[in-house]
Structure 1
Amino acid sequence: VVVIDLKENVRQGGARNRGIEIARGEYIGFVDADDWVDLRMFEKLYNKAKETKVEVVSCGLDYIDSTNTISGANIKTNLLVNGIIHEEQRELLLIGMQNFAAGNLIRKSLLFQHSIRFPEQIFYEDNYFNVVVGLYANGYTYVFECLYHIYINPDSTTRRRNTTHVSQRITVLKMILNHFQQQGYSKKYHKFLNYYTALTLYLCAFEYLDRQDMPSYHFIQKIHLYLHSYRIDRCNPYLLKHFGYRGTLAVWLLRHLPKIFWHSWILSNRLHLNTWPLMHLSRKNQKS
C-alpha cells in the first residue's frame, strides 16, 4: 500500500491521475471513497482480462443506502461488444461503456500509450475518461456480476441538492467533442457524438430540475442555447433506439421550444407524475 499525501485538494480527477503516474501493476482500477468492492472483484476482472486478452474489463454495479438496502443494480443484459474490437464496432463500445471510472480494470499501457488522463478540478471527470478509453481500447469484455458496491450518500458532492455543478457536464462534453475533433475522429464517429451530445444535455437539464428546490428557467435556457447550436439528427439510429420516440420528442422540445419543455416538467412535477420522458434513463445515468 502506497499513501500519496497531496498538499492540496485536486479533486477526484487529480487524485486518480497521481495514482496512475505511480502505479506499477499491469492493470489499473479505481474505488471511490464511500464505496467498497467484492473481495474477489479484481481477481475476477484480472482473470477475465488475461483470458480474453482485452484492455478493458467491467463488472456490474449495485447501489446500497444507509440501511444496507440494495436500492438498484446495473448489470448489462445486452453486451454490445465482447472481445477484440473491430472498427465497425467502435461506436457500439462507446455507447456501451459505463459512465463510472469504478467497476473497470484497464491495462495501464493503454493509458500511457494514448496519454489518457482525467480532467482535473471538475466534476464528471470520469465521463471524459471513459469515452476516451473506449475510443482507443483494442478490446472490451464484461463480468456479469455486481462486484462493485456504490454507497448512496445524499450529502455527496454530486448528489447534494441545490447545487449548480451539473452544468459542468457541458464543460466535459465540450472537452470530449474537442478531443474527437483534434484527433480527426468527429466525422467518423458522428452518430455516437450526436447521440452523446443529446443525452448529456438532456441529463444536464433533468438533473438540474430534479435537484433544485426552486429551479430557474434561465438555467434551462442556457442548455437550450447550447443544444440549439449543435444539430441533433432526429433520424440517428442510436438516438431512436436508446431514447425512444418520447425521449426524442423531449430533446426536440429542449432544443426548439424550451418554455414548453420547462412548463411540461413543472406540471409533471406538481402532479407527482412519473411519466416524464427518459426519467428512468436519467436517474440510471446520474453519478454517485
Structure 2
Amino acid sequence: MRISIIVPVYNMAGDNKLRFCMDSLTSQHLEDYEIIAVDDCSTDNSLEILREYEDKYPGLVKVIHSEINKHQGGAKNLGIREASGDWIGFIDADDWIDPDMYRLMLEKADTTGADMVGCDLTLVSEHTYQVSDNVEKNGNPSMSGVLDHDKKKQLILDGGRLVVKIYKRANVIDNKLFFPENIFYEDNAMSNSFLLTASHYEYIEKPWYYYYQHQGSTVHSFSEKMCQDRMEAGRIMLGEARRLGFFNEFRQEIEFIFTQLFYVNTLFTYMPCVKPARMSFVKELTKEMKETFPEFENNSYYVDRVGGEEKKLIRLACKSTALFYAYYRLLWGYRGLRKRLKK
C-alpha cells in the first residue's frame, strides 16, 4: 500500500463539505492507496455519508466510527493505528485536494529519497478547483534536501501546516508521533515533532491543497476553552522537543514558536474575542510565560518578527496585568468609537 490518507470527520455533512472532500480523495490519479475516514462521534449524518462512500468504493474507503468524541487529535490517532500505507497524509474533512497531489508528491519522494514531501495551499471560500489569489506558502526551495541544522531551523520557523505534507509511516510509528486528544490545536502541538524527525524534505511550490474558509471553521470561533487548549498545545510542543532530544539544539527557535503559540496568539485572541475577558486569565497566562522563558522578549526572532504594538502591549502586561487590561480596553474602545464615527 503506497499511502494512507487520514480524514478526521465531525459534523461535516452540511454545505456539501464532506462529499466534496471525499470526491477529491476518491478521484486521486493514483493506484494502491487507502482513505481512512474517522467519524468522531458526529451528531449529523456525516457517518451515513461516509458509509455510502465505503459501500461505493470497497477496498479504497475504510470508515472508523468513534463512540466518543476525542477531537481531531483522537480521530487522527485512530487513523494512524489503522494505516497500512508506506506513507501517511492528513486532510481536514472540509478541505479538498488536487487530483494529482498525492501521486506527484510520491513521485518526488521516489526520485529524491525524501521521507517527507510538502506543497502549498490556496485559501478559498467556495467549492472550486480554481486557485485563488490567496496562496499560502508552506516552505521555500532552500528547505529541500537532506535536513541539516540550518534547514531544520527553517522548518521550525516557517515549515507550514501538517496537512500539506506526507510522511513515512515508519517514522511516525517509530517516533510515537501521536496527537494530543480532546483539545484543539493538536497540529500545533505536534508540528515540530513531525518536521524534525524527518531526514530529507522535498518542497514542491504548487498550491495543491484547497483550504476552505467558512463560518463553521475553527479559525472563526474562539472561546476561553480554545485559548486554554492553545496553551496546552504549547506545553505539549515543549515536552515533545525534550522527549525527542532537539530542545537544546534549537532552543532559540523553539522558544520563539512557543512564545507565539502559547502567549502572543493566545493573548491577542483572548482579549478581543472572548466575552467577558477575565483579567485573572491574562495574569496566569503572563505568569506562566515568564516562568517558562524569563528572557523571551530578548529572543532575536521575537524582536524581528513580532509587531511593534504587540511588543509594547506585552511589555506592559509583563509589568502590570491591571495596567495592560485597562490600557487595552481604553485603546480598543477609542478605536471602536472612531470607526463608528467614520460611518
Per the shorter chain, which TM-score range? 0.7 to 0.9
* 1:1-288 mapped onto 2 (5 Å cutoff): 1-65=61-125, 70=132, 72-76=134-138, 78-79=140-141, 81-98=143-160, 100-157=161-218, 159-200=220-261, 201-230=263-292, 231-243=294-306, 245-272=308-335
SS at match of 2:181: coil
Higher mean Cα deviation, 243-252 or 8-17? 243-252
The code of the aligned residue for 1:148 comes to Y
Alignment gaps of 5+ in structure 1: 274-288
The code of the aligned residue for 1:204 comes to T
Residue 154 of structure 1: how far off its partner (Å): 2.0
Distance 2:118 2:271 in 1: 31
Alignment gaps of 5+ in structure 2: 1-60, 337-343
Distance 1:249 1:20 in 2: 43
Task: Quickly say closer, same or farther: Cα 1:155–1:66, change in 2 above 3 A.
Answer: same
The answer (yes or no) to whether the contact 1:60–1:148 under 8 Å persists in 2 is yes
Q: Which residue of 2 aligns with 1:279?
A: none
Residue 126 of structure 1: how far off its partner (Å): 0.8
The code of the aligned residue for 2:306 comes to F
Residue 252 of structure 1: how far off its partner (Å): 3.1
Q: How much is the aligned-residue C-alpha RMSD, in angstroms? A: 2.6
Residue 49 of structure 1: how far off its partner (Å): 2.2
Task: Quickly say closer, same or farther: Cα 1:183–1:132, change in 2 above 3 A.
Answer: closer
Task: Quickly say closer, same or farther: Cα 1:213–1:63, change in 2 above 3 A.
Answer: farther
Distance 1:22 1:81 in 2: 31
Task: Quickly say closer, same or farther: Cα 1:4–1:114, change in 2 above 3 A.
Answer: same
Residue 189 of structure 1: how far off its partner (Å): 1.9
Higher mean Cα deviation, 73-82 or 204-213? 73-82
Residue 187 of structure 1: how far off its partner (Å): 2.4
Task: Quickly say closer, same or farther: Cα 1:247–1:92, change in 2 above 3 A.
Answer: farther
Task: Quickly say closer, same or farther: Cα 1:235–1:224, change in 2 above 3 A.
Answer: closer
The answer (yes or no) to whether the contact 1:124–1:172 under 8 Å persists in 2 is yes
SS at match of 1:102: helix
Residue 193 of structure 1: how far off its partner (Å): 2.0
Identical aligned residues as a percent: 22
Structure number with higher relative contact order (C-alpha < 8 Å, ≥ 6 residues apart): 1
